[in-house]
């Protein structure tokens, strides 16, 4: 029989065990081994059956066992110590609380406990040094709080609200912020079905299941209203208005991620119609309108949830809002509405827009336009304005923010990333290469500027070491990997490989049983993988650009590598295709069918249902982590970082983070054919061949080349270099420090500088500049070389003196900067490797309204060299010279503008 209703009965713990509730409800247990060990000791078999979830465990431990533990003095001492340690973690000052304005001051990135401190990746983020404990509270340069919005958060497998890298990155961001004491508030959606669970049919076709998640069985607490004198009231809720006046209500669930509250909005509440209840049904599901409603709820509803949370808890209101990808972009519109409502007629839309931009950070993770959320303009228009959301803001203003105004843009769509960039003063990609790709991809929003001048920076992603590092590696880390004997380091790697082999066999058996195989036909699984064979891992989402099946390009050659009599390799593969991506599912099936072949199935396996639980076993147990995307389509690719934390060597295309940190001392670079005139098939052939040759001629020989002591000395050196040199770079703590110092702090300062009056003046100034800019022009340029050289030639060490006449169209000289821009020139006279030199106003206006600007341009390099002149708007509150996307360049008729060829 099937139950007609499901609900949870919470356990009543004996009084001495009450602290277990708090330990279970704070997700710090997911990266705190001592807390996990405490729960496991209560009921080891039950702990495994519950998947290592303390909340589920507490509901499953027999009452008799609880009574026994309540009188177990040894257990109670451990419990008290864990509870006290959590209290200290939650309340004690940490890196952020000791931060000063100077980047190199004590408490900065190089301070004790920083990423370069003795202890490296194991260094604490506490403020234990005497020179810091006496220091005052957080510097006023830092925001009192930051709200961090993401459509998914990968905190732990016990809270399945993630699909892949974006969510795992968001989870690691929250955890690192907690460890550093950064006052973050996370904001997301609570998906009642989470992301899908993956299984395989007998034919290897991906199948999806969406289990129903009960929030009461998850480590969540429902936020309630408080009524003075009456205690806890009804659940707090926020409301959006949909077309036709329909309400969309949502409750606010809170997960506690260490020191960081994570607010998750849930639309499955009474008062909503069936369609509205399903808005938060599943992650990345449904059609365009369903997705739009999710993103409205995340952005607009998320801001309202933050306001409710701060009101009810007394938490500091965020000064900075950070949107992780464009999904939450509507948060800027809600904050504009707030400002206009609070300030009344004194703050109009342009002024409110300036204030909101100043305090907003936008991170793009998408290296291709096809990966960006885009909605039909008419669909967006129906959901805003009169009868919809944000009635105080005209629909045309909303649509203008997402309009693709650049060449090749579609005027019929609303682009969420474009809106995100227009509503954020600080924007970044997630690796150095991705920052470059993003500047090129969005350059059309800043016409007249070269891609390298587009105001999008980069902060390379990092991963949370306590989450992704195997306990065995953590324990050895205290002894410093640089001094660990080679034999111990090699034994560590074999131990981790052996654990992975056991995990793979268990998961593979379960998968084949799901596929319909009987026990009698699965005896071969006992010999799958070998703990002494070179083990390669490949696990990620399965879009086409990640090339899951590149390894299958030459199946005979791959088979030879797998079955080599002296230097065999074995490969563990995992990954999910999006439910709507049949092309991705065909790639999975192709890989599975190859892995099913009786000749190779003991050497290559595909594990379904890739998630955090699997990943935490997979990364440490592999010797090599393989990544072969189409360059440069991998924004960052953090799976290889997680592997590196455990001494796994990377074998990857130079894309994402590997492009900036690759060294031959700790991995290999797969040669690529990007930029060459070859078709996709030919490119795959070339790069697959390069992969096979690396495996056959370099990777496998180094693994199996043993010295007199039986150890692969060079391989162990690479492992050691990975742990000592690479691992400290890939930490999420480094990433969050960079966000704090380079983006959050500047955003807070900019936000504070824009009081209502200043914001009005700035928006009025921008409007005036935009209005008259068509009249700004470079009218005349005169140059001479000093000191003069024979024949008028330009020689190294001389200078070019410029006199430039500029028409300002009624602007004041203080409103503009006139620059000489110089650099190398290519065959098409395009400037590269440029330097901008400001010229000084020396006279004007003359009878024709022209202003004179002068200045020297040093000729400090040889070879083809050129220059031009341009006029930019300038204002003390502009974050970048390119902010307005306005520039005036010489026209073809401008007199005496010429390049200079140096000898």
How high is the pLDDT of residue 837?
A: 93
Taking the CB of residue 387, how many other CB atoms lie within 10 A of it? 14
More confident residue, 798 or 779: 779
What pLDDT digit, counting tens, does each position of 708-723 carry?
999 999 999 999 999 9
Pick left, alpha or beta for residue 547 (phi over 0 → left; psi -120 to 50 → alpha; otherwise beta). Answer: left
How high is the pLDDT of residue 878?
A: 94
Residue 704 CA to residue 411 CA, distance in Å, equals 59
Element (H, E) at 293: helix 288-296
How high is the pLDDT of residue 121?
A: 43
What pLDDT digit, counting tens, does each position of 110-149 carry?
332 333 333 344 444 554 433 333 333 445 689 999 999 9
Which whole number is the average pLDDT over 642-651?
A: 98
How high is the pLDDT of residue 5?
A: 63
Which whole number is the average pLDDT over 149-175?
A: 96
Determine which of 152-156, 447-451, 602-606 has the lowest per-residue pLDDT on average.
447-451
Which whole number is the average pLDDT over 408-428?
A: 96
Average pLDDT, the chain: 91
Which whole number is the average pLDDT over 399-409?
A: 94
Say which CATH architecture domain 476-727 belongs to.
Answer: 3-Layer(aba) Sandwich (3.40)
- Report angle CA 371, 883, 435 to the nearest 5 degrees: 40
What pLDDT digit, counting tens, does each position of 230-267 carry?
677 899 999 999 998 999 999 999 999 999 999 999 99
CATH number assigned to the domain with residue range 773-901, chosen from the 4 options 2.70.50, 2.40.30, 1.10.10, 1.10.1060:
2.70.50
- Give the pair of three-digit tokens for residue 392: 């105080």
Name 831's Cβ contacts closer than 8 Å, sequence gap at least 6: 450, 821, 822, 823, 824, 825, 866, 867, 868
Say which CATH architecture domain 146-462+739-754 belongs to.
Answer: 3-Layer(aba) Sandwich (3.40)
Determine which of 28-42, 136-150, 518-532 has the lowest per-residue pLDDT on average.
136-150
How high is the pLDDT of residue 825?
A: 85
How high is the pLDDT of residue 117?
A: 33
Count of helix runs (H) and strand runs (E) in the chain: 31, 29
Residue 380 backbone dihedrals phi, psi, to 5 degrees: -65, -45
Residue 663 CA to residue 69 CA, distance in Å, equals 52
10: pLDDT strictly greater than 80? no
Q: How far apart are the first and last CA of the chain?
A: 90
- Each domain of the chain, given as residue ranges in start order, spans 15-91, 146-462+739-754, 476-727, 773-901
What pLDDT digit, counting tens, does each position of 294-325 carry?
999 999 999 999 999 999 999 999 999 999 99
Residue 270 backbone dihedrals phi, psi, to 5 degrees: -65, 145
478: pLDDT strictly greater than 60? no
What pLDDT digit, counting tens, does each position of 429-442 carry?
999 999 999 999 99
Residue 178 CA to residue 184 CA, distance in Å, equals 8
Determine which of 263-267, 288-292, 391-395 has the lowest per-residue pLDDT on average.
391-395
Res. 385 pLDDT band, cuts 50 70 90: confident
What pLDDT digit, counting tens, does each position of 92-116 carry?
999 999 985 444 433 333 332 333 3
More confident residue, 201 or 902: 201
Asked whether this chain's domains 146-462+739-754 and 476-727 adopt the same fold, the reply is yes
Which whole number is the average pLDDT over 77-99?
A: 95
Judge contact between 822 and 833, C-beta under 8 A.
Answer: no
Judge contact between 801 and 851, C-beta under 8 A.
Answer: no
């Amino acid at each position: 029989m099937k139950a007609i209703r499901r609900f949870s009965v919470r356990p009543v713990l004996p009084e001495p065990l009450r602290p277990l509730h708090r330990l279970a409800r704070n997700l710090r247990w997911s990266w705190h081994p001592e807390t996990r060990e405490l729960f496991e000791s209560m009921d080891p078999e039950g702990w495994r059956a519950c998947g290592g979830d303390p909340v589920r465990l507490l509901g499953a431990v027999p009452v008799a066992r609880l009574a026994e533990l309540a009188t177990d003095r040894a257990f109670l001492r451990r419990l008290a110590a864990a509870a006290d340690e959590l209290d200290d973690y939650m309340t004690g000052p940490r890196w952020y609380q000791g931060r000063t304005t100077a980047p190199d001051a004590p408490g900065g990135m190089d301070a004790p406990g920083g990423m370069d401190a003795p202890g490296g990746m194991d260094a604490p983020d506490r403020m234990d040094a005497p020179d810091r404990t006496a220091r005052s509270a957080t510097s006023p340069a830092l925001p009192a709080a930051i709200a961090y919005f993401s459509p998914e958060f990968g905190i732990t497998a016990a809270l399945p609200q993630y699909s892949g890298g974006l969510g795992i990155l968001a989870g690691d961001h929250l955890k690192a912020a907690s460890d550093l004491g950064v006052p973050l508030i996370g904001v997301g959606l609570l998906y009642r079905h989470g992301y899908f669970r993956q299984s395989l049919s007998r034919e290897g076709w991906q199948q999806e299941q969406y289990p129903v998640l009960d929030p009461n069985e998850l480590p969540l607490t429902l936020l309630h209203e408080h009524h003075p004198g009456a205690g806890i009231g009804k659940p707090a809720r926020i409301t959006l208005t949909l077309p036709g006046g329909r309400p969309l209500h949502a409750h606010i669930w809170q997960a506690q991620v260490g020191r960081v509250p994570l607010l998750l909005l849930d639309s499955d509440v009474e008062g909503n119609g069936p369609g509205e209840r399903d808005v938060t049904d599943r992650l990345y599901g449904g059609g365009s309108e369903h997705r739009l409603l999710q993103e409205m709820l995340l952005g607009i509803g998320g801001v309202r949830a933050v306001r409710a949370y701060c009101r009810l808890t007394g938490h500091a209101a965020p000064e900075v809002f950070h949107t992780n990808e464009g999904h939450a972009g509507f948060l800027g519109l809600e904050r504009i509405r707030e400002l206009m409502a609070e300030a009344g007629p004194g703050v109009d839309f342009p002024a409110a827009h300036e204030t909101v931009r100043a305090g907003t950070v936008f991170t793009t993770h998408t290296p291709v336009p096809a990966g960006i959320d885009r909605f039909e303009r008419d669909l967006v228009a129906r959901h805003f304005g009169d009868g919809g959301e944000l009635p105080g803001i005209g629909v045309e203003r909303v649509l203008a923010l997402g309009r693709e105004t650049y060449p090749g843009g579609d005027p019929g769509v609303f682009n969420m990333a474009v809106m995100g960039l227009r509503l954020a003063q600080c924007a970044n990609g997630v690796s150095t290469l991705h920052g470059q790709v993003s500047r090129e991809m969005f350059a059309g929003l800043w016409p007249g500027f070269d891609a390298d001048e587009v105001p999008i920076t980069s902060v390379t992603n990092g991963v949370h070491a306590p989450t992704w590092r195997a306990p065995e590696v953590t324990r050895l880390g205290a002894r410093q990997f640089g001094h660990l004997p080679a034999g111990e380091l090699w034994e560590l790697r074999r131990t981790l490989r052996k654990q992975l082999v056991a995990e793979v066999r268990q998961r593979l058996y379960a998968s084949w049983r799901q596929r319909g195989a009987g026990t009698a036909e699965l005896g071969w699984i006992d010999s799958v993988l070998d703990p002494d064979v070179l083990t390669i891992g490949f696990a990620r989402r399965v879009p086409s650009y990640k090339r899951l099946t590149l390894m299958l390009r030459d199946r005979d050659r791959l088979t030879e590598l797998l079955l080599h009599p002296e230097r065999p390799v074995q490969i563990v593969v995992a990954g999910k295709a999006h439910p709507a991506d049949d092309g991705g599912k065909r790639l999975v099936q192709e890989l599975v069918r190859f892995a099913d072949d009786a000749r190779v199935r003991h050497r290559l396996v595909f594990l379904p249902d890739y998630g955090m639980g699997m990943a935490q076993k997979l990364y440490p147990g592999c010797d090599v982590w393989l990544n072969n995307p189409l360059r440069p389509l991998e924004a960052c690719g953090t799976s290889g970082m997680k592997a590196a934390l455990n001494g796994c060597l990377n074998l990857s295309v130079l894309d994402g983070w590997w492009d900036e940190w690759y060294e031959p001392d700790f991995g290999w670079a797969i040669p690529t054919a990007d930029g060459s005139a070859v078709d996709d098939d030919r490119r795959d052939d070339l790069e697959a061949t390069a992969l096979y040759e690396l495996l056959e001629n370099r990777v496998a020989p180094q693994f199996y080349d043993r010295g007199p002591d039986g150890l692969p000395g060079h391989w162990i050196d690479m492992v050691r270099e990975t742990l000592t040199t690479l691992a400290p770079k890939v930490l999420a703590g480094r990433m969050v420090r960079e966000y704090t110092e380079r983006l959050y702090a500047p955003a807070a300062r900019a936000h504070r500088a824009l009081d209502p009056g200043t914001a009005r003046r700035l928006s009025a100034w921008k409007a005036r500049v935009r209005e008259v800019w068509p009249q700004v022009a470079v009218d005349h340029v005169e140059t001479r070389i000093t000191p003069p050289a024979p024949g008028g030639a330009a020689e190294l060490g001389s200078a070019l003196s410029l006199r430039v006449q500029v028409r300002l169209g009624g602007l004041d000289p203080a409103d503009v900067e006139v620059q000489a821009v110089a650099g190398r020139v290519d065959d098409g006279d395009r400037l590269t490797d440029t330097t901008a030199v400001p010229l000084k106003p020396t006279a004007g206006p003359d009878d024709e309204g022209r202003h004179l600007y002068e200045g020297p341009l040093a000729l400090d390099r040889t070879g083809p060299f050129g220059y031009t002149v341009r006029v930019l708007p300038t204002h003390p509150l502009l974050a970048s010279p390119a902010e307005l996307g306005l520039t005036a360049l010489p026209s073809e008729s401008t007199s005496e503008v010429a390049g200079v060829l140096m000898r």
